[in-house]
Chains A and B, each alone.
Chain A
Amino acid sequence: MLNDLIIGMAGSGGDGIVSAGESLISALAQDGYYAILTKSFGSQIRGGESSCRLRVASTPVLNPGGTLTVAVVLNWEDFLRFGGELPVGPGTVVIYEQKTKVAPDAIPLAVKPAIVRAVPMAELAMKSAGTLQAKNNVVLGLLAGWFGLARQSILEGLRKKFAKKGAEILQGNERAYAAGLDYADKNPLEGDWHFNPPQAGVGKRLITDGNELCASAALFAGCKFFGGYPITPATEIMQHLQRDIWKHGGSLLQAEDEIAGIAAVVGASFAGRKAMTATSGPGLSLKSEVMGLASLAELPLVCVNVQRGGPSTGLPTKSEQADLFAAAFSAHGDTVRPILAPISVEDMFGITVEAFNIAEQYQTPVIVLSDQEIAQRKDIVDPVDRSRFKLVERLEPTAAEMVDYTRFRLTESGISPLSHPGMKGGSYLAAGIEHNEHGDPCSSGEMHEQMNNKRLNKLNPLKQRRDLFLLEGDPTAEVGVISWGSIAGVALEAVRTARAQGLSVKLLIPKLLYPVAEEVYQDFFKSLRRCLVVEQSHQGQLHRIIRMWVNTPAEFTSLAKSGANPITPDDVLRRISAMTRATASA
């Protein structure tokens, strides 16, 4: 019996491999499993090679996983192009298209897999459905048959999917699926490859991705304006919002560029509305000047940056965590903008709500660093319990405070009541130029110091928000791991496995990346002799940022890889074991 199954499939664009992955995850959701589906494409808009990975379990899945349990190869050239994204190991079952004319003992892989099966997929599709397009349903049949996955739900899904296409096409695809099942039944795999049935009596789960949850969270948080410009992999946030935001009394602008997008957001916020933009690397660079304006004018806004490989156009369709420096430091002047990062698809909802809350409470731009993986992979998640979230509204001046309204009054908290056009008595001049308490332009050094104090110190309470940090493991461990963003799920699995193996280790996952919460790290470091920071960037940006602010343990190392180079739980586990050995022998 398998408890954890990772399927990787690759083919050329027309093979419908991604669509097979989607059908499979829908069926698995129906049956009460948890799963993660990631898709990966060549950089062509259409056609070209495509692949997907699907990891399924009966408990929540933390990450897309490492080595494949099952590799499905429609043609070898395309499969190999994905390299480390679809790793085959000695325990993998490899299923490939017989038509590729590669002998089972001559497959082009460095390792010898557990089982290798050449299947006449194209032939089965032609015979059953009369079209090669049904190949992907043959594959679904093979998977359902050999691994006992969602047999009935896949069939129902296919019926739904093809219902509109007419009886002939529907029946053809049904026959292709049946042909795959039949082939699997007649040619069983050696050993027990059947997957654990799901827990009984589970509630309705949904299949969603980070971009979609971001949009629904924004509407839930009360976002009334979106301004932005299309860019992969952030565009879907705008696409979801443009459908629904009007229904909530809001509006949306697809602007002429990213600068105009965030400028309009600043305008909407000045007008008293909760407002956001969403972008990816190149767009984040363009937005930095206007974000500085929002910092100085103390106007709330949320900027979601879905990280992709960079710099410049970089790897637009691949995940990376290399925009942390840009998010933290791309503003000129003495500026701190809070940065939040979700650790999973599900987490994107709460993080987006939190971003609006922090923006409104502290009158500041907030950057959410999502990443391509969280944004675009499909997860089966439990429905979001919205009652868990409180919404924060900005502090408005009282009638008394509007008698001689002082927009930037120096208060103890650093937060001053914020009026908006339409409020009688609340008129003031917002500006990018330094101001006095009334908002009048002012270039005195003393006032500049006071205003910098105000703008920076008002954010200090954030550093005490321990709920924005996940802590797991043995509190007295001498070995520790830190990770963030989508990679945190990998570190989490590695730490759990290590602990199950009896190793003493603990894990810290910051969701608040900036300002750096020194005390939280210091407390974490107290028991540590060795600590590893795991992240998806070449320089190891969080590793470096922590060192700027906090005294780190004697051995403070980094496991960092550029985007599109998977970091697997095994990679992390090996480093934890090595650190444990070193600590024991020291």
Chain B
Amino acid sequence: MITSTTDCGCESTLVAPAPLTTKDFRSDLKPIWCPGCGDYGVVTALYRALVAIGRPSHEIAFISGIGCSSRIPGYTTAYGFNTVHGRALPVAQGIKMANPDLLVLVAGGDGDGFSIGGGHVPHAIRRNLDLTYIVMDNHIYGLTKGQLSPTTPRGAKTSSSTYGSMEDPVNPLLYVLSYGAGFVAQGVPADMDGLAKMIEEAIRYPGFAFVNVQSPCITFGDPDDQLKIQKTKMRKLAAEGHDPSNWLRAMELAQDYGKELYTGVFYRNPNPPPTYDSQIRERQATLRPKVAAAG
């Protein structure tokens, strides 16, 4: 009954047999996003990042919640799981705990992640399993046709706020930074190279990594918040001379969420603490032989 810790069925995690291309990660399913939706850019950037990482798609589990953005796993060749609204992170953590050898990606909308699922985010961060969480932040509920989302700016008129929103938005960057996320970045589909690189870096970070993508909703979003305008508004953190190991400075810059469109890595912990999954392996390894010896 005792099985070995590396029985995930993975062939090899170190040597990729042949160089992979984006085709290896694109599924046959045709996206049903509206033409011009920012999410197209996100999935393209992800394909590129996965090519760079080089893990075969069957060793990748890609988990999402519910929303337009949450459709993304279906457009990849990974093992996808389009779960229920707001619960992608806990499902993903169960997967990673059950099989730490897998590369686990999580994605969803700002509503999925910071409204209904908002309570799970701090716990995913403090637990620090090695996973990458991509939020497609469009400041609106896309799938249900344009209601207020937790990141909708105060005053915005939406299909559920005819007279303007009376609430302040959540600041996803501050949220995750203050709970101690080890890797925090923000990207825009308008900067495809930057976004792909950032996702790749997030995947390589050993621990919980967060990428907020300002991914415009062309159908229900603010016209001033679209791809073309992003290009003119974005300010690359690297060009601003930001040192991503400086957490306090990252917190300072993050306060400008909603005002300035910073892109790049806000924070990368220079000394990543042990991940939860590595501690699972250790505990299993130290406790296991005793059972074996006892028969």
Contacts and interface: CB of A to CB of B under 8 A. Distances in A.
A276 to B, nearest CB: 11
A267 interface: yes
Interface in A285-337: 289-290, 292-293, 297
Most buried by B among A248, A260, A272, A289: A260
B84 A289 contact: yes
B56 interface: yes
Contacts of A270: 61, 79, 81, 91, 94-95
Interface string A421-440: 11111111111110000001
Interface residues of A, number: 51
A270 to B, nearest CB: 6
B175 to A, nearest CB: 15
Listed residue (A222, A253, A419, A422) with the most chain B CB atoms within 10 angstroms of its CB = A422
A247 interface: yes
B119 A256 contact: yes
Given A263-B94, A264-B90, A268-B94, A422 B83 contact: no
B90 A267 contact: yes
B102 A421 contact: yes
Interface string B79-102: 111111001011111111111011
B9 A266 contact: no
Interface stretch (B145-153, B258-266, B285-293): B285-293
Contact of B95 (A222, A260, A261, A268): A268
Contacts of A271: 61, 94-95, 98-99, 102
B95 A267 contact: yes
B288 A431 contact: no
B99 A272 contact: yes
Given A271-B99, A422-B99, A429-B74, A249 B5 contact: yes
A246 B61 contact: no
B74 A253 contact: no
A246 B95 contact: no
Classify chain B's interface size: 35 or more
A268 B74 CA distance: 20
Nearest to B281: A251
Interface string A101-116: 0000000000000000
A424 B94 contact: no
Given A249-B288, A267-B63, A290 B94 contact: no
A289 B65 CA distance: 13
B120 A421 contact: no
A91 interface: no
B84 A293 contact: yes
B87 to A, nearest CB: 4
B92 A267 contact: yes
Nearest to A292: B84
B187 interface: no
A272 B73 CA distance: 19
Nearest to A221: B1
Contacts of B93: 253, 260, 264, 267
Nearest to A274: B98
A420 interface: yes
A70 B66 CA distance: 60
Contact of A441 (B9, B74, B120): B74
Contacts of A426: 58, 79
Nearest to A222: B1
A237 B84 CA distance: 27
Contacts of A419: 79
A200 B177 CA distance: 68
A260 B82 contact: no
Interface string B121-143: 00100000000000000000000
B255 interface: no
Interface string A226-265: 0100000000000000000011111101011101110111
A273 interface: yes
B59 interface: yes
B10 interface: yes
A283 B96 CA distance: 24
A273 B9 CA distance: 12
Could you say which of B60, B99, B287 has the most chain A C-beta atoms within 10 Å of its C-beta? B99
A247 B56 CA distance: 30
Nearest to B5: A249
Interface in B254-295: 280, 283-284, 287-288, 290-291
Interface string B91-117: 111111111011000000000000000
B14 interface: no
Contact of B290 (A247, A261, A427): A247
A266 B95 CA distance: 8
Contact of A422 (B59, B94, B284): B59
B94 A225 contact: yes
B123 A273 contact: no
B73 A429 contact: yes
Nearest to B292: A247
Nearest 9 pairs of A and B residues by beta carbon: A267-B94, A264-B94, A268-B98, A263-B90, A422-B9, A260-B90, A431-B82, A267-B91, A421-B79
11 contacts: A224-B98, A248-B1, A260-B123, A269-B94, A270-B81, A271-B61, A275-B94, A290-B83, A421-B60, A430-B80, A431-B82
Interface of B: 1-5, 8-11, 29, 56-61, 63, 66, 73-74, 77-84, 87, 89-99, 101-102, 119-120, 123, 280, 283-284, 287-288, 290-291
Interface of A: 222, 224-225, 227, 246-251, 253, 255-257, 259-261, 263-273, 275, 289-290, 292-293, 297, 419-433, 440-441
Given A267-B90, A430-B80, 15 more contacts: A225-B94, A246-B283, A251-B97, A251-B284, A263-B83, A264-B93, A267-B81, A267-B92, A267-B96, A269-B94, A272-B9, A275-B98, A429-B80, A431-B80, A441-B74
